[in-house]
Chain A
Amino acid sequence: MLCLGIESTAHTFACAVVEKNGKIHSDVRKIYRPPEGEGIHPREASRHHIESSTKVLVDSLQQARIKIKDLDIIAYAAGPGLGPCLRVGAVVARSLASYYKIPLYPVHHAIGHIDLGKLLTGAKDPLVLLVSGGHTMLLAFMKEKWRVFGETLDITLGQLLDQFGRSIGFASPCGKNIEELAAKTSTYIQLPYVVKGNDVSFSGLLSATKSISSQKEKACFSLQETAFAMISEATERALSFTKKKELMVVGGVAANKRLSNMLKSICKRQNCKFYVVPQQFAGDCGAQIAWTGLLEATAKKGSALENTFVRQSWRLDSVNINY
């Protein structure tokens, strides 16, 4: 069984073909890059997706060496995300599903990150740290739902890095630029450290880091150390509470080596296995959507076209998982 996955929640338009046995036959993406210092403009990003969609789709099918008629199902990211961007992916998916009579599966973008992470790392029952531009959450699976054991109270870890990065002139996504600058120093400047219960708050940290942005390298180093220590504290407490023996990190920020190193030391203390999604699949991609679509297809039929909506806001812990 082959599934085409279509991702378009934010800056990435991506298509991938994945087989039921977990083989990723193709993975093609085009990323909208806003001007340096600016964030994602939803309509500009959606125009990028419209211009890229046909080529990404064709390249994805060619890379997989198949034709559209060879597809058994199509899955698309139905949310959460930017409305204009989500609608482009949904229109592409519905057009193909309607014209070629292929079953269609709307998929939760963040659950795609988790499912693909489990496929690629081999984690069985992990505590999940989902860190991206759209989410900062600690999750454990129980009774058909991913339950939240801590999350951000304001902006996400990805937003923190992107907003600070943009303020010093980088273009989103800025995580890699910040990591490179941070690696050039080990001088720490004191910044606000806010953990409330098992939740974190980054907005004060963002403002304080902006106030020291003239010292770019020290600011980047201090920002990373503070934010990652906060999330690590919450993660260690969640591990201790849930007694999980695996920790898996997924989402775009999972590509950060410093974060991985901090989490590895926690896992060592808690006697638990550490998994991180491979860097190539840490960011948004079609494979995460295709794989979750395939998993959903094992438990239910495709959705009627008239019920295939997009949802800009869609809590991960509200999704029932029956596969």
Chain B
Amino acid sequence: MLACKVKITINNISAQKAQAVKSALEPDNVNFPENLSLQIENVDNKLVFIFQGQDNMKKMIATIDEVLEHVQVSLKVIE
């Protein structure tokens, strides 16, 4: 069985912006594919995304891709 954990950290982000991005993404963090999870943490000046998946790496990569696109669009529109 292949298990994978991916941690992505966005540094130097204000607490207000980090909270806006977290609030924008979290409601969609439901009905994830089986064996795939996403945790979003807002700590200090960092926004941390922790993806954990098993077996199906394609799904995990596609999810990371979509989440990062959403982070990008979220930051762009509030700026």
Residues of A with Cβ closer than 8 Å to B? 43, 46-47, 50, 53-54, 57, 84, 87-88, 90-92, 94-96, 98-100, 305-310
Whether A50 and B21, one on each chain, are in contact in the complex, defined by CB atoms closer than 8 angstroms, is: no
Which of A98, A100, A309 has the most chain B CB atoms closer than 10 A to its own CB?
Answer: A98
Which of B21, B27, B72, B74 has the most chain A CB atoms closer than 10 A to its own CB?
Answer: B27
Whether A91 and B24, one on each chain, are in contact in the complex, defined by CB atoms closer than 8 angstroms, is: yes
List 12 contacting pairs A-B, 8 Å CB cutoff, sorted by A.
Answer: A50-B72, A50-B73, A53-B76, A54-B73, A94-B24, A95-B21, A95-B73, A98-B20, A98-B23, A306-B23, A306-B26, A309-B27
Q: List the 6 closest pairs (A to B, CB-CB), nearest first.
A: A99-B20, A94-B24, A98-B23, A95-B74, A98-B20, A95-B24
Count residues of B near A (Cβ-Cβ below 8 Å).
23
Q: Which of B58-79 contact A (CB under 8 A)?
A: 62, 66, 69-70, 72-78
CB-CB under 8 A for A91 and B78, given A307-B27, A308-B27: no
Map CB proximity to A onto B24-37 as digits: 1 under 8 Å, 0 otherwise.
11111010000000
Which residues of B sit under 8 angstroms from A47, Cβ to Cβ?
69
A96 to B74, CA, bound (A): 8
Nearest CB on B from A102, distance (A): 11
Nearest CB on A from B39, distance (A): 16
CB-CB under 8 A for A94 and B77, given A87-B70, A88-B70, A309-B30: no
Return the chain A residue nearest B72 by Cβ.
Answer: A50
Whether B28 and A92, one on each chain, are in contact in the complex, defined by CB atoms closer than 8 angstroms, is: no
Since A84-B66, A91-B28, A307-B27 are in contact, a sample of 5 more A-B pairs with Cβ atoms closer than 8 Å, ordered by chain A residue number, is A50-B70, A53-B73, A92-B74, A95-B21, A310-B27
A286 to B38, CA, bound (A): 31
A256 to B17, CA, bound (A): 45
Which residues of A sit under 8 angstroms from B12, Cβ to Cβ?
none
A100 to B74, CA, bound (A): 13
Nearest CB on B from A145, distance (A): 25
CB-CB under 8 A for A90 and B77, given A50-B69, A99-B16: no
User: B19 contacts the other chain (Cβ, under 8 Å)?
Assistant: yes
CB-CB under 8 A for A87 and B78, given A92-B73, A94-B23, A98-B19: no
A69 to B43, CA, bound (A): 27
A305 to B70, CA, bound (A): 16
Return the chain A residue nearest B17 by Cβ.
Answer: A99
A46 to B19, CA, bound (A): 24
Which residues of B sit under 8 angstroms from A98, Cβ to Cβ?
19-20, 23-24
Whether A96 and B28, one on each chain, are in contact in the complex, defined by CB atoms closer than 8 angstroms, is: no
CB-CB under 8 A for A91 and B74, given A47-B69, A50-B69, A310-B28: yes
Whether A92 and B27, one on each chain, are in contact in the complex, defined by CB atoms closer than 8 angstroms, is: no
Whether A87 and B19, one on each chain, are in contact in the complex, defined by CB atoms closer than 8 angstroms, is: no
Whether B27 and A94, one on each chain, are in contact in the complex, defined by CB atoms closer than 8 angstroms, is: yes
- Our pick among B16, B19, B25, B30 for the contact of A91 (Cβ within 8 Å) is B25
Nearest CB on B from A231, distance (A): 35
Return the chain A residue nearest B30 by Cβ.
Answer: A309
Which residues of A sit under 8 angstroms from B19, Cβ to Cβ?
98
A95 to B18, CA, bound (A): 10
Return the chain A residue nearest B62 by Cβ.
Answer: A43
Whether B28 and A95, one on each chain, are in contact in the complex, defined by CB atoms closer than 8 angstroms, is: no
Whether A90 and B28, one on each chain, are in contact in the complex, defined by CB atoms closer than 8 angstroms, is: yes
Whether B77 and A53, one on each chain, are in contact in the complex, defined by CB atoms closer than 8 angstroms, is: yes
Nearest CB on A from B24, distance (A): 4
Nearest CB on B from A68, distance (A): 9
CB-CB under 8 A for A95 and B20, given A54-B76, A57-B77: yes
Which residues of B sit under 8 angstroms from A307, Cβ to Cβ?
27
